Amino acid sequence: MIDLETLRGILAEELGVSPADIGAGDDLVNLGLDSLGVIGISEELRRRGCGVHYSALVLEPTPEAWLRIIGESAAAEGGADPSGGMTVPGGADEDDGEPFPMAPMQHAYWVGRRDDLGLGGVAAHLYVEFDGGGIDAAALERAARALIDLHPMLRTRALGDGRQRVLPASPGPALTIDDATCLPEEEIERRLREKREAKSHQKLDVDAGEVIDLTLTLLPGDRHRLHVDVDMFACDAMSYRTLLDDLMRIYRSELAHGTEPTDGDDDRTVPERPGVTYREYRLAMADSGGPDPEDARYWETRVPELPPPPALPFVEEARRADPRRSIRLEHRVGALDAARFGDAAHAAGVTPAMVLATLFTEVVARWSTQRRFLLNVPLFAREQVHPDIGGVVGDFTNSVIVGVDAGPGASFLDRVRALSREVHLAASHSTVTGLDVLRSLGAHRGEPVMASVVFTSGLDLGEVFSSRVRDIAGDPVHILSQGPQVDIDAQVVELDGGLLVNWDVRRDCLPEGVIGDMFGAFTRLLDAVARDVPDWNRPLSVPLPPAQASRRAAIARDSADGGAAIGRRTLHREFLRRAEEAPERVAAVSADGAVSYGELADGAAALAAELRRRGVRSGDVVAVSLPRGVGQITAILAVLMAGAAYLPIGVGQPGPRRDAILRSGGARHVIADPARIGELPPEVAVVDPAAVPDGAADGVDAGAGPEDLAYVLFTSGSTGEPKGVEVAHGAAAHTIDAIASRFGCGPEDRTIALSAFDFDLSVLDLMLPLSVGGAVVLVGEESTRDAAEWARLIREHSVTVVNAAPGLVGMLHDIASDDELAGVRLILTGGDRVPPSLGRALSRRVPGLRFIAMGGATEAAIHSTREEVGPDYPDDFASVPYGLPLDGVQLKVVNERGEECPDHVIGEVWIGGAAVARGYRGMPELTALKFIRSGSVDWYRTGDLGRVLPDGRVEFIGRADGQLKIRGYRVELGEVEAALESLPGVSGAAATGADGAIVAAIVPAPDAGRVPTGAEARAALAGIVPEYMIPDAIAVIEELPVTANGKKDRAAVSALVDRGPRGVAEPPDGPVESAVAYLFGALTGAGGCSAADDFFDVGGNSILATTLTARIRELLDAAAFSVADVFEARTVRGIAARVSESGRSPGDVAAMAAMLMEFADGGEDAR
């Protein structure tokens, strides 16, 4: 019986501490015990006659609890073999060739080889190259044959029904020898390069029994390269070590054949055949009763709480150049640093493995848009069912799915401890496998879930390659592992007394440069904590990659330098200066004729005087609600000259919303036509501009300053109530001056005012030309939707600059002739997504035209960014990126901790600098939330989602609040629209949510030869976005509906889309289809399956596909039917056709199907 002192001794040896340092109630996890250590201790206890299950130890990791568990186990066993209830007869010299079940991971590896499976098409295998010298090729070949004979799993084939069978002999050569000793050096290098490329990515034919590939290349100078590729279907990582060591022991014995070994020398003895086989182990596991009920209950509760997989900037599989190629990145930590690192971790009460895992998760979190995510953690756990189980080669792996929370605030040590607890908790309930957890999570969310980011620790397993292997085979010079449904597999092992860290990565899974940046960040963190004891009590920080930080700093400096040359001024100052210097110049043109600067200034001064007479003072807010025309401009200028701020209200604004704006804005006066304005709140007085007498007024300007309020512009609020943005003179004037300077705007320019004046683009329409001495062409209220009239005005009045939302620019492009646009030199467009095709088309039509897409927000004074689109602008983007900041503007993309996101990572766009608004009127809490000061910069948190591109430009992704939740997934409508707009023949798209679904509308491109139908567009999206992002219905319409501001009117889209059923369900036809439909429902729980229903859409998965195959073979006498038929045919009708072809005759199959349905109608269960 194990007592406390004995247990302390076992623990001390595992932890590398003194037994006296271990208290009875100490938490062994905090003392540095990890999951592999628990496995080792459970094996030691098993050897001492105490059969304690690994998961029981993990659940209560204290010595006193373990003593209790050991005692309870001994009492329950009553002298029985302590094997946890499993019996393994052992003593078998060889497997008997009968099929036996695959392990869950084996099955996953086998199915994952299929090319039609997401992230599939690759073998789970480990390929290693060793460079050495002095090897005896003949002896190695004999040793290889003996190795394959010793371990039955090295000659095991996968069967089509999801089982496996040991073959009497390997189907291929035990060792392939390639003699390159006499070849030229260039030819040798070519051969070795080609072998590496081929073997690193090969798929051995496991269906034929090929699971190991040993090749020896003989090189000049008695050198060699040994190529070892093993399919993990037959061998996990611990078994890989065993077989390599056994190979070299057999090789040594072959060399020493006929000589007597010396005492203690096991190098000349052949490894003994284990007294138990992997087949016996698997059968025992199959008979053990499945998952523990307590574990099943735990995961039933835990699954709904689990986060999604890491939201890394993955490239969609369909767009990867070569989705099946992998690369390895590796980094070594020397023995001294590794020892120092291990000591620091143990001193802090944590394990080196968990510290490394935490560093990895911090880096993943830094490149993820969500800081809570799933991590896949493999476990190497063999149930101790036989004394020889440690020497058996096979797949004993399980994986646990861990929820990682890398949110803000926690210290480094707290983070390590939290992750350790998650791993231990998951491991303690691991009779429900990680694969089972993922399937449950997929069922909960209605979509398959993959945990494609993996952390594998081989610490505490000893050196990855034994000294015997290194002495004979040589040094490992290339290692690469692959696995289906894995994008990133981070591994850490012991090598040469230090650490070897590898990341095996699907080569094209991330944009170029991202994986290198991530790995660089990880290795810098690792080296830092290995060299010096970390500050465990501070949060861990992952800085931007140095090159990115340098590039962004340079862009910020350039913007700041440009902004420094722009002085602060009031919004109307330059207009007044122009009016004084050249009063005769034309300032505005309307249907009533032209108005000069002098006339406009006089009219504004007279109205300003009237406002002052009525009690308007500096800092007040005065509403303006007039139709488009000179009177509107006059009123705006008058309010500014009176020292007040103007509040624009469209004449068509509904009364209740108008009154809400007046109250929120604090306006006591409104400049309006009394006959049109209607009844107002009693505290608001109407100022009729028509009643103001003509003539010069005393005093031209009340002397407002750059920091005084210029206007309050109301936008829609998420609560349904409008919110007023307060913009200072200096902020708005800065944007105007930055644009004028960059694009050379001057007195010869004329703009056309297309935007509604309660939309912030109108500020640019009016004040840009008036600030540079140009003129504005005014569109009448009756022509706000008449693009033909705009085109006529542009030509008639020689308009040179067009500033409008992309929807309005698109209308102009569609209507205007080349002659009407010939005089336009500059188009500024923003406020919504800008299709690159629009900019390309207009740039090609109009010689010399500059098309500038601009981004920004009302809260940052109109526009903040610029991106020029020329005739040859690339097709890389579905919508034009925000681009670079205007002079004096700062731009960054941040995560939830306020850190700048690395390149390609989606975060929130922040705009800072001289043009940021003051805040929201009367909303101090919202202002404090959205407007912040960091360092010396004022920032506005836009709520826009964006990412920084490698050249420093910012790409707009969509609105953070433009998301839907579809079957548990967050869907950004902007991404759906961008995907639709990337389809051939589509020039524009709008998507919206409707009754828990997505609906969308697309507009044909003008020059499209063929426009996709809605159904064709849905089918095309399947290769671009996940299934849950494909709209349920798509309408093809002539033009997108737009709001009064020219933005997409998503609310109107839903009404345009017919959301009727996608198709009428067709019932199964005949007994075979009916039987297949019945089996679909029996296995998945989906009742009433139609002929067109897809097995995987109604709840099927790879495990159930295997079960379905077995049922079809058994119940329908279709012996030739295979799992491949399920994956390829998929639907009830398709599978039924395959079933009919797989029996002795179609008639026999139909007869069996009819009998099955008779039993089914009688209540029999096919499960």
Instruction: Specify the residue for token string 């960059």.
Output: 742
pLDDT of residue 1162: 58
Residue 416 has, within 13 A of its CA and on its CB side, a CA count of 27
- Express each pLDDT in 1137-1163 by its tens digit: 999 998 878 788 898 898 888 877 654
78: helix, strand or coil: coil
Q: How far apart are CA 329 and CA 363, in angstroms?
A: 15
Strands of the sheet containing 801-804, edge to edge, are: 593-596, 586-590, 775-778, 750-753, 801-804, 826-830, 850-854, 865-869, 884-885
Closest of 1040, 989, 775 to residue 879, by C-alpha: 989
pLDDT of residue 964: 61
36 close to 99: Cβ distance less than 8 angstroms? no
User: Which residue ranges make up each domain of the chain?
Assistant: 4-77, 100-283, 289-413+423-530, 573-887, 962-1062, 1070-1161
What band does 959 get if pLDDT is binned at 50, 70 and 90?
confident
- Express each pLDDT in 504-533 by its tens digit: 999 899 999 999 999 999 999 999 999 998
Q: Residue 913: what are its φ and ψ, rounded to 5°? A: 115, -155
CA distances for 1004 relative to 785, 956, 990, 1033, 1056, angstroms: 20, 23, 12, 16, 15
What band does 93 get if pLDDT is binned at 50, 70 and 90?
very low
Q: Which amino acid is at 49?
A: G
Closest of 238, 309, 235 to residue 485, by C-alpha: 309
Q: How far apart are CA 373 and CA 353, in angstroms?
A: 19
Q: Is the pLDDT of residue 641 over 70?
A: yes
pLDDT of residue 710: 97
CA distances for 18 relative to 5, 11, 12, 98, 603, angstroms: 12, 9, 6, 50, 93
DSSP state of 696: -
Q: Is the pLDDT of residue 936 over 90?
A: no
Cβ density class 1045-1056: b for 16+ within 10 Å, e for less: bbbbbbeebbee
pLDDT of residue 721: 63
263: helix, strand or coil: coil
pLDDT of residue 260: 53
Q: Residue 911: what are its φ and ψ, rounded to 5°? A: -115, 130
Q: Is the pLDDT of residue 484 over 80?
A: yes
The set of residues, in sequence order, having a beta carbon less than 8 Å from that of 489 and lying 6+ positions away, is: 454, 456, 481, 483, 503, 504, 505
Residue 614 has, within 13 A of its CA and on its CB side, a CA count of 22
pLDDT of residue 1165: 47
Element (H, E) at 627: none
pLDDT of residue 83: 44
What band does 1067 get if pLDDT is binned at 50, 70 and 90?
confident
pLDDT of residue 781: 86
Question: Quick one: average pLDDT of 407-423?
Answer: 92
Q: How far apart are CA 24 and CA 62, in angstroms?
A: 7
Instruction: Specify the residue for token string 């390829």.
Output: 1128
Residues 573-887, CATH architecture:
3-Layer(aba) Sandwich (3.40)
- Lowest-pLDDT range, 612-616, 897-901, 1160-1164? 1160-1164
What band does 885 get if pLDDT is binned at 50, 70 and 90?
very high
pLDDT of residue 324: 84
DSSP 361-430: HHHHHHTSS-SEEEEEEEEE-----STTGGG--S--EEEEEEEEE--TT--HHHHHHHHHHHHHHHHTTT
% of the chain surpassing 70 pLDDT: 91
Cβ density class 184-198: b for 16+ within 10 Å, e for less: eeeebeeebeebbee
State the burial class of residue 565 (Cβ atoms within 10 Å of its Cβ: 0-12, 13-18, 19+). Answer: exposed
Pick the CATH number of 1070-1161 from 1.10.1200.10, 3.20.20.70, 3.90.550.10, 3.40.50.300: 1.10.1200.10
pLDDT of residue 385: 81
Q: Is the pLDDT of residue 920 over 90?
A: yes
Q: How far apart are CA 767 and CA 753, in angstroms?
A: 10
pLDDT of residue 321: 83
pLDDT of residue 1043: 67
Residues present in the chain in total:
1167
What band does 1007 get if pLDDT is binned at 50, 70 and 90?
confident
Q: What kind of fold does domain 289-413+423-530 have according to CATH? A: Chloramphenicol Acetyltransferase (3.30.559)
What band does 259 get if pLDDT is binned at 50, 70 and 90?
low
51 close to 77: Cβ distance less than 8 angstroms? yes
Q: Is the pLDDT of residue 718 over 80?
A: no
586: helix, strand or coil: strand
Closest of 191, 181, 177, 172 to residue 137, by C-alpha: 177
pLDDT of residue 21: 83
Q: How far apart are CA 1046 and CA 803, in angstroms?
A: 12
pLDDT of residue 77: 56
Element (H, E) at 196: helix 185-200
Q: What kind of fold does domain 4-77 have according to CATH? A: 1.10.1200
**Alpha carbon of residue 975 to chain centroid:** 12
Tokens representing residue 994 in the block: 């409707």
What band does 10 get if pLDDT is binned at 50, 70 and 90?
confident
What band does 97 get if pLDDT is binned at 50, 70 and 90?
confident
Q: How far apart are CA 1062 and CA 1058, in angstroms?
A: 10
Closest of 865, 852, 763 to residue 559, by C-alpha: 865
Q: Is the pLDDT of residue 660 over 60?
A: yes
% of the chain surpassing 90 pLDDT: 58
Tokens representing residue 1001 in the block: 């509308």
Q: Is the pLDDT of residue 970 over 50?
A: no
Q: Is the pLDDT of residue 124 over 60?
A: yes
Q: How far apart are CA 599 and CA 578, in angstroms?
A: 12
Q: How far apart are CA 774 and CA 597, in angstroms?
A: 10
CA distances for 689 relative to 380, 589, 613, 655, angstroms: 84, 19, 14, 21
pLDDT of residue 1060: 44
Closest of 8, 31, 65, 79 to residue 428, by C-alpha: 65
pLDDT of residue 1101: 74
Residues 962-1062, CATH architecture:
2-Layer Sandwich (3.30)
Domains 573-887 and 962-1062 share a fold: no
306: helix, strand or coil: coil
- Express each pLDDT in 591-605 by its tens digit: 999 999 999 999 999
Average pLDDT of the chain is 88
Q: Is the pLDDT of residue 228 over 70?
A: yes
337 close to 498: Cβ distance less than 8 angstroms? yes
Q: How far apart are CA 813 and CA 845, in angstroms?
A: 9
pLDDT of residue 720: 42
Question: Quick one: average pLDDT of 386-390?
Answer: 88
- List the CATH code of the domain at 100-283: 3.30.559.10
Closest of 402, 471, 407 to residue 35, by C-alpha: 402
pLDDT of residue 505: 95
Question: Quick one: average pLDDT of 967-974?
Answer: 58
Q: Is the pLDDT of residue 969 over 80?
A: no
Q: How far apart are CA 314 and CA 328, in angstroms?
A: 18
Q: How far apart are CA 852 and CA 635, in angstroms?
A: 30
Tokens representing residue 601 in the block: 């200034």
Question: Quick one: average pLDDT of 1081-1096?
Answer: 82
Bridge partners (DSSP) of residue 397 are: 380
Q: Is the pLDDT of residue 1164 over 60?
A: no
Q: Is the pLDDT of residue 827 over 50?
A: yes
What band does 968 get if pLDDT is binned at 50, 70 and 90?
very low
Q: Is the pLDDT of residue 204 over 80?
A: yes
pLDDT of residue 190: 97
Question: Quick one: average pLDDT of 426-455?
Answer: 89
How many other C-beta atoms can be found within 10 angstroms of the C-beta atom of residue 949?
17
Q: Is the pLDDT of residue 1124 over 90?
A: no
Instruction: Tell whether pTM > 0.85.
Output: no
930 close to 920: Cβ distance less than 8 angstroms? yes
Q: Is the pLDDT of residue 74 over 90?
A: no
3-state secondary structure 838-890: HHHHHHHHCCCCEEEEECCCHHHCCCCEEEEECCCCCCCCCCCCCEEECCCEE
pLDDT of residue 1: 64
What band does 36 get if pLDDT is binned at 50, 70 and 90?
low
Q: How far apart are CA 822 and CA 843, in angstroms?
A: 11
